[in-house]
Amino acid sequence: MQKETLSVRISPAESRALRERARKEGVSKGSLVRRALRAYGVTPEAEAGKTGYEVIKHLLGRNRGGSKDLSTNPEHLKEYGR
């Protein structure tokens, strides 16, 4: 994933609060801001803490054609057990 830099003007009080919260949680300020963006629903679904299954589940069961069970095709069993 390509990263991009974003500059945001915040007040000294916001900067102080962000720095203190990041220090308290042991993360960078950028990491804390990215987490806030995910919580706000700004980031794409794939980065929003979903599992791999949740990301690809819309693709499952979409294969058309071919054998549903490869064990019924003798071609796939030719070298089995050797």
Distances (CA, A) of 5 to 40, 59, 64, 79: 19, 33, 42, 54
pLDDT digits (tens, 9 = 90+) for 27-67: 999 999 988 888 777 776 545 567 777 767 777 776 666 66
Domain ranges (residues) in the chain: 12-77
pTM over 0.85, yes/no: no
- DSSP assignment of the chain: -----------HHHHHHHHHHHHHHTS-HHHHHHHHHHHHT-S-GGGTT--HHHHHGGGTT---SS-S-GGG-HHHHTTTT-
